[in-house]
Structure 1
Amino acid sequence: MAAIQWTDVAQRLKWEATPEGYDRIRTVWLKHCDTELRQDMEGLLSTLTDDCVYTVLRTTATGATRQRWDGQEGARAFYTALFQAFPDQNWQPEAVVMGPQGVFSAVVLNARQVAPWAGIAPTGQTVSIRMFVYFIWAPDKGKFGGEVVYIAPIAE
């Protein structure tokens, strides 16, 4: 799935919310989160469609960047870079919303950054990065079709 278009959003808003659908999304999302925390690449990839798309959007005072990874190999590259940049991750969830369209979460990653990630140069120091993440649900496949990650600065 590429960038989300308004027609896609309008269509997704018509999807019916059911207890069974909610349970399926919740189960897959919890597995995704658990395998990400354990840096279990194969478990993580099992929650994603073959044609998944990962997009990271970052805005700073000097401009904006956009990165994209396509398919399972792209997701593998995305997570390999994330795990290499932050070998010891401490995630602090701030909010989560689930619906038939997927999951939207707000999280803060606190970790020592030892390699570049998402256009952020490593400092070797502990950094805090706030992310708003949309996990795009693919109901026909029972998995996530990728993520759109918005990186926001944390006010001091």
Structure 2
Amino acid sequence: MVHAYIGLGSNLNNPIEQLDRAIDTLRQHEDLHHVRVSSIYGSKPVGPQDQPDYVNAVASFETSLAPLDLLDLLQSIEQAQRRVRERHWGPRTLDLDLLLYGQETLQLPRLVVPHAFMLERGFVIKPLHDLAPNLCLANGNKVHEQLQQLDTSDLVFIKEE
């Protein structure tokens, strides 16, 4: 079993409901165990600003799925919720990103782990902090140390999961 962390995000079609449905699906999946979810936060979009604000959370779980099988599962959940992605860094109904897969570092055509931009994104590190403040990241910082280096002033607490 490997401990994995994923980021969840949405800014279309009732974003909180999109995250709630994805979380329910994760909790019911037979290959994911001990699913925990951070609080949900609102944030300004990365990239084009002519779109609604996002809601974001992080989930953690134990899994026996291989990294690409886990990626396939996450993408199937996105598709089941009729993922819409109009443009790069544009609005979307649901985005599930594999952030961490144990301590593994992967550079595959379809998957990079740890997630390439997670260390610079407060909307990832703040919810990750809710779950694992002392987790050591690839840059050697603990999550709580990384959080202190980020501007999270645009994050808005929405609800506790």
TM-score after normalising by structure 1: 0.30
The structure carrying a bigger strand percent of its residues is 1
Which has the greater radius of gyration?
1
Q: TM-score, normalised by structure 2?
A: 0.30
